[in-house]
Structure 1
Amino acid sequence: MKITVVGGGSTYTPELVEGFARRAPLLPVDELLLHDIDPERLHVVGGLSRRILARHGFPGRLTTTTDLAQALDGSAAVLIQLRVGGQAARLVDETLPNRFGLLGQETTGAGGFAKALRTVPLVLDIAEEVRERALPGAWIVDFTNPVGIVTRALLDAGHRAVGLCNVAIKAQRRLAARLGVEPGRVRLGHAGLNHLTWIRSVTVDGVDHLPELLAGDALDELAAETGAPARLLRDLGAIPSYYLHYFYGTDEEVRRQLDGVHRAEQVRAIEGELLTLYRDPALDRLPELLERRGGAYYSEAAAALVTSLLTGDGAHHYVNVRNNGSLAGLPDEAVVEVPAHVDTEGPHPDPVPLLPPEMLGLVQAVTAYETLTVEAVLTADRTVARRALVAHPLVRQWDRAEPLLDALLEANRPHLPRFFGREAADV
């Protein structure tokens, strides 16, 4: 069995590799292949990954290559975790919208829109190569942000794909620790869109502990983790995703960014330090610094999901899939993030209670934005792109959306040739 990681030079990769090493008894992998377009990063990350596998006694082999065809040939599953433009592009995503008094963030709002324009075409090209070269029925697992939009584009193009995010598993682990139980016993009523979810139940052995969590001493800590005030959690009767604080506290976050506080700068510095650590030939385990990079529990979520897709164990996951009635009030073709049991046929979503109006309205608005964004990517139509920005609650204002789009496209010109060619539409 061969599993391929596209974007294998990521500093996340050693954690992912360790996840597969730990699951070797459940998922017999003969070859883990790491692909990246940066040979130097691939060499560094691949070296640490081999040392980690050796420490675990992993029975398979690890291969690295810059050749995509070689990477995909005969793969049973392909994980995509790339970042078009690297951290430099992320910094633009987070800072350029500030010039228009708007929030900058790499997966939502104007920054997430720019990232989608850069990312979706490349992921679709890779997916076509997967269709041609991987094993029949091979799965694509997308961890590339914005996950919901990328996954929708993959599914619209007919690919066998599932989107994955670490937000739910991270919450599950933290809540399990608070309740003093094993994580596997905790089921979350986690639903919405990628990076736009709420936890509306925390069930252990059939008993919902969310009311006591929101009424007890844990409330302030939960609020701090989400970036939202405790009283908001009480009013919602739910635990919002951390990313919702960009919607619930937009003005405050914009002020922080205008003062020069941007996550992209912190991550760029952490990545540099991590790559220096990874070069140490004596290092054969994950450095503590990796926890500050973000993506906690990604390895567990990804390795477990691939195990379910390839072995059909029917385990429980939180995934990005077609709506198909899971969330009432959204079109079936939307991509939602919901709990599901997963086997070789893919995810089978669990029933999701109707979202209350304040949640459903926001999800509907962002779904409209995502629909328009995918269309803008595929058509390179500037009119559709402006409509997408106007549809997003974090942009919305026409007098800002129009010049903002021009600035975003110009800043990303090397990655967006179709928006500047003869075929680019502006009607």
Structure 2
Amino acid sequence: MKLTILGGGGFRVPLVYGALLTDRGEGRVTEVVLHDLDDSRLYAVARVLAEQAATVPDAPTVTATTDLDEALRGADFIFSAIRVGGLEGRANDERVALAQGVLGQETVGAGGIAYGLRTVPVAVDIAQRVARLAPDAWVINFTNPAGLVTEAMSRHLGDRVIGICDSPVGLGRRIATVLGANPREAFIDYVGLNHLGWVRGLRVAGRDELPRLLADPDLLGSFEEGKLFGTDWLQSLGAIPNEYLHYYYFNRETVRAYSEVEKTRGAFLRDQQAQFYDEMKRPDTAALTAWDRTRAEREATYMAENRETAGAGERDADDLSGGYEKVALALMRAIARDERTTLILNVRNQGALSVLDTDAVIEVPCLVDANGAHPVAVAPLPDHATGLVCAVKGVEREVLAAAENGSRTTAVKAFALHPLVDSVNVARRLVEGYTEVHPGLAYLK
């Protein structure tokens, strides 16, 4: 089976390949094609993968190309993990937003809108090429903002594009663990949009164990989200929010913390990864060792400003291992081998969440089999969550419209309608600032 990875020179690709190396079953991936616009990054990642495979018999072959059409032809699965504008673009997203006193995080608020505006046209082009060159392939979208990009691609690929994220998986695992349950045996009642969802229940053998967690302040405060949000707030909500909701619930504190750091997250990753890729140009570099060292530092500093604001301390060791590659492998196996499973995924609504239309991409538990991912019908959200979900989905739709018609006015509307942007004038200045620093937004007229 052939797997094509778009953004194949990306830093996290070795996580995916490492997961593939653990799969010895029939019908596994035997061929991996890396595609990237930067051949030096492809070379660096290919070196890491070669060292990963050195002790694994019959490891999937790896080839690399800068020709997109060549990479797509004959693919059974396609991972889309692109970053339009690179980490320099992410750093600019943060800088422009913070200059206006609003959040610039890559998937939330102004930064997420800017990232989406320059990514959607590229993602749509990829989707159209896939429909033409590999119509039977399944596209698994890693590209952020994951829900928005998946919805853009679904307009051309239908249900053959599925978005994934490791945040709900990690959240469900942490809740199950503190409750003494096996995460593999628990059903996570999770619903929302990507980076905007809540766990409302955790059922083990038919019994919802979440009320027990919410009633025990010591237990509730013992894991990442309890430390991040505070036990009183979680008890008030009656649910456990995705960690990204910290940007909404504690926005003022987070913006202040991000404004005071020496380097934003994007600038830190830009400089850190530039050092890694420079190091990989030396033939004597131990590629896998260098990658492991860089990844450990990257994961340990994840959402550091939010944890500092909340007094949450360092991340637990179990939360430093990633997880999206495991979701991707489980998804591929379920489709390719009809190994039926339940996964939290980004898919078209199809009536699962009644407040949104059929084509809206949501993040919910899905039953996965050879025919793809099928969202499980979920109970309505409480009013406060419904309002937030509908507001952000409305913003996503304006981003898609702006990307389709090239309208600067529509782009301003997208920024102005976001709950974390507090003025139409700020929205106008954001569009001005972003179009100045991002050549990829020149299409907005």
Same-fold status (TM-score > 0.5): yes
How many Å apart are 1:15 and its aligned residue? 0.7
Q: Structure 1 residues 348 and 224 mapped into 2: Cα distance closer, same or farther (>3 Å)?
A: closer
Q: Could you tell me which amino acid in structure 1 is paired with residue 253 of structure 2?
A: E
Change (3 A) 1:287 1:181: farther
Give the Cα–Cα distance (whole angstroms) in 2 for the partners of residues 9 and 111 of structure 1.
23
Q: Distance in 2 between matches of 1:215 and 1:286?
A: 42
Q: Would you say how many aligned residue pairs link Structure 1 and Structure 2?
A: 418
Residue by residue over 1:158-182, the C-alpha shift from the partner in whole angstroms, topping out at 9 and shown as x without a partner, is 4421111111111233233323443
Match of 1:402 in 2: 428
**Aligned pairs (5 A) from 1:179-198:** 179-198=179-198
CA gap 1:404/1:39 in 2 versus in 1, 3 angstroms: same
Once residues 57 and 180 of structure 2 are traced to their aligned partners in structure 1, the CA distance between those partners, rounded to angstroms, is: 31
Partner in structure 1 of residue 101 of structure 2: 101
In structure 2, what is the equivalent of residue 359 of structure 1?
A: 385
Alignment correspondent of 1:207: 207
The CA distance in 1 between the partners of 2:297 and 2:181, in whole Å, is 25
Q: Report the Cα offset of residue 212 of structure 1.
A: 1.8
Match of residue 139 from structure 1 = 138
Tell me by how many angstroms 1:229 deviates. 2.4
- Please tell me the residue identity of whatever aligns with 2:246: H
The aligned residue for residue 147 of structure 2 is 148
- State the distance in 2 between where 1:98 and 1:274 align: 27
Q: Contact 2:221/2:227 (CA < 8 Å) preserved in 1?
A: no
Look up the match of 2:312: none
Give the superposition deviation at 1:387: 1.4
Q: 1:416, CA displacement in angstroms?
A: 2.2
Residues 176, 202 of structure 2: 8 Å contact kept: no
Identity of aligned residues (%): 37
Work out the CA distance in 2 between the residues paired with 1:276 and 1:305: 34
Matches of 2:225 and 2:242 in 1, distance apart? 11
Shift of residue 291, structure 1, vs aligned partner? 4.2
Q: Tell me if 1:306 matches 2:332.
A: yes
State the distance in 2 between where 1:379 and 1:176 align: 45
* Counterparts of 1:90 and 1:305, CA distance in 2: 28
1:152–1:334 CA contact under 8 A, matched in 2: yes
Change (3 A) 1:10 1:226: farther
Task: Tell me the equivalent position of 2:303.
Answer: none
> Does the CA-based 8 Å contact 1:34-1:65 persist in structure 2?
yes
Residue 203 of structure 1 aligns to a residue in which SS? strand
Distance 1:57 1:299 in 2: 21
Asked if 1:290 corresponds to 2:295, the answer is yes
| C-alpha RMSD over aligned residues | 2.1
Report the Cα distance in structure 1 between the residues aligned to 2:405 and 2:227, rounded to whole angstroms: 36
**What SS does the corresponding residue of 2:257 show, helix, strand or coil?**
helix
Report the residue type matching 1:36 in the other structure. D
Task: State the partner residue of 2:156.
Answer: 157
- Where does residue 228 of structure 1 map in the other structure? 229
Report if the CA contact (8 A) 1:38-1:66 is conserved.
yes
Q: Do the aligned partners of residues 214 and 268 (structure 1) sit closer, same or farther apart at CA in structure 2, a change above 3 Å counting?
A: farther
TM-score normalised over the length of structure 1: 0.92
For 1:252, the equivalent position in structure 2 comes to: 253
Find the partner of 2:440 among 373, 397, 415.
415
Query: Counterpart of 2:34?
Result: 34
Partner of 2:239: 238
| Structure 1 position 109, deviation (Å) | 0.9
Q: Is 2:110 the partner of 1:110?
A: yes
Q: Which amino acid aligns with 2:391?
A: A
Query: Aligned with 1:255: secondary structure?
Result: helix
Structure 2 vs 1, CA of residues 286 and 90 (structure 1 numbering), >3 Å: closer, same or farther? closer
The one-letter code sitting in structure 1 at the alignment partner of 2:437 is A
Contact 1:307 1:313 in 2 (8 A): yes
The superposition leaves residues 193-234 of structure 1 with CA deviations (integer Å, 9 ceiling, x where unpaired) of 000000111222222221222222221234656732221111
Return the alpha-carbon distance in structure 1 between the equivalents of residues 278 and 90 of structure 2. Answer: 21
**Distance in 1 between the 2:173 and 2:104 partners?**
29
How far the C-alpha of 1:150 sits from its partner, in A, is: 0.5
Cα displacement string for residues 104-149 of structure 1 (whole angstroms, at most 9, x for unaligned residues)? 1111111111101111111111222222222x42111111000111
Instruction: Sort the Cα spacing of 1:223 and 1:21 in 2 relative to 1 into closer, same or farther, 3 A.
Output: closer
